Amino acid sequence: MTACAQAENFKAVPGQWGGWSTDSQHLRRRSGVGDQMKALKSLFAVSAVALAFAAPAAHALPTYSDTFNNVTFTFTQTGTNELTFDILNADNADGSCNAADPGCGSWADVDFLGAFDLKNLGLNFTTVTATATGPGATNLAGLNSQLSASSVDCKSAGSPPGSICFDLAPDTPILHDMSYVITFSSPLNIASTGPHLQIAFTDTVGGPKVGSLYSQDVGSTNTTNTTNTTNTTNTTNTTPEPGVVMLLAAAMIGLGLSRKRRA
């Protein structure tokens, strides 16, 4: 090979051999680094997408639900001082209950919603106020009282006065799905057992209460925004999803391998 031909195989590129390297060595080195950077970018992009999908789970809304006589009651805390209250399937109430229960009654003939009250919200309703908006109610002011087994209206004093009672006047017709937004003047601090609900139905406007008075703690299902009728204690799930953890681990491994190859 002539000296001219040998000279053509070299280029003044910083590298080895006394500060110079061949064109082919330089290109291979640049290509390898480029491939590693593309792989890392892909790993980080996949991880970012996975985290974006997983993020809402960490901020899921506390939900409380229970079913009685084929009617499902669901509370969802949508803000620090706001609840949504959903009554589902009241138009198909079957009136079933434990025959051995002295208070056993029937909801099979319910046609109207008369009133409902709430407590165990961590609020003192001698000073805190609340309004409800939904079927038959527009910014309806709550009363610091509660229902009783003998009354369909908010006439009984709370003991202690921890209830807020919403008396619909006139009684509102039952719908398949009835939703109320309840806004409080102070932040909620709901008990671990969930909100305590009392609710009364009638079969005529202004008529007497039909069947038994529902008076129960509506327990937390979980913190996902779903309608689950399991009556459980309040739990908060902030554990990362397994798939997210695996993707992040893969990204870290890829980063370590790329550094090892470059070294």
Q: Which pLDDT tens digit goes with each residue over 78-126?
A: 999 999 999 999 998 887 666 555 555 678 878 999 999 999 999 999 8
Cα distance between residue 159 and residue 106, in whole Å: 27
Alpha-carbon gap, residue 232 to 62, rounded angstroms? 12
Scan for tokens 């680094």, then name that residue: 33
Domain of 13 in residue numbering reads as: 3-58+243-262
Report how far residue 202's alpha carbon sits from residue 107's, in angstroms, rounded to the nearest whole number: 9
| 98 and 168 part of one domain | yes
Assigned domain for 208 exists: yes
What are the phi and psi torsion angles at 251 (to 5°)?
A: -65, -40
Stated pTM of the model = 0.62
Q: How far apart are CA 184 and CA 139, in angstroms?
A: 11
Q: Are 73 and 47 part of one and the same domain?
A: no
204 band by pLDDT with thresholds 50, 70 and 90: very high
What are the pLDDT digits (tens) for 223-249? 433 333 333 334 444 455 555 556 566
Q: Is 127 found in the same domain as 256?
A: no
Please tell me whether residues 207 and 139 are part of one structural domain: yes
Q: Are residues 17 and 85 in the same domain?
A: no
pLDDT of 111: 94
Residue where the block lists tokens 């997408």: 49
CATH code at position 140: 2.60.40
Cis peptide before 170 (omega within 30 of 0): yes
d(CA 201, CA 107): 8
Question: CA of 193: how far to CAs of 106, 120, 151, 153, 185, in Å?
Answer: 26, 8, 26, 25, 22
- 263 alpha carbon, distance to own chain's centre: 48
- Any long-range contacts for 10-13 (C-beta under 8 Å, 24+ apart)? none
Identify whether 231 is part of a domain: no
- Residue 260 above 50 pLDDT? yes
Number of domains in the chain: 2
The 10s digit of each residue's pLDDT in 59-79 is: 568 999 999 888 999 999 999
228, part of any domain: no
Q: Are 24 and 84 in a shared domain?
A: no
> Are 69 and 24 contained in the same domain?
no
Are 48 and 70 part of one and the same domain? no
- For residues 174 and 69, what is the distance between their CA atoms, to the nearest angstrom? 15
Q: How many CB atoms lie within 10 A of CB 167?
A: 21
Whose tokens are 């979980």? That residue is: 222
pLDDT single digits (tens) 119-152: 999 999 989 999 999 999 999 999 998 888 877 8
The reply to whether 12 falls in a domain is yes
Same domain, 91 and 43: no
Whether residues 187 and 249 fall in one domain: no
CA–CA dist 174, 203 (Å, integer) = 10
Amino acid at 35: D
Provide the 10 A C-beta neighbour count for residue 253: 11
